[in-house]
Amino acid sequence: MKEITAEEVQQRLENGEALNLIDVREVIEVRSGHIPGIINIPLGLLEAKLPDLDKKKPYIMICRSGGRSFQATAFLDSLGYDVTNMVGGMSAWEGEVE
């Protein structure tokens, strides 16, 4: 399974890269602060949202501490998606939040 640090994600965003960030936290958690530009798909709804995801696009999965995003990454990876887990989740994020 591929992994990326919060710092690496922040650097890539600051360098102007367009990243496909999926935050798998619950809606109420996301409202308390999230990385600008994320797509929120709570972990429990991920399977139902598969038709909305493109296997040709790389995705970075995010949650609070890295556990739920790890599960989401493993699930999507098993289905052939190009996914990477952001280690440490929002607990490790030091960049801008909305």
Active-site residues: which are they? 63
Can you tell me whether residue 60 is helix, strand or coil?
Answer: strand
CA distance 68 to 23: 9
Residues whose CB falls within 8 Å of the CB of residue 18, separated by 6 or more in sequence, listed in order: none
Where is 37: in which H helix or E strand? none
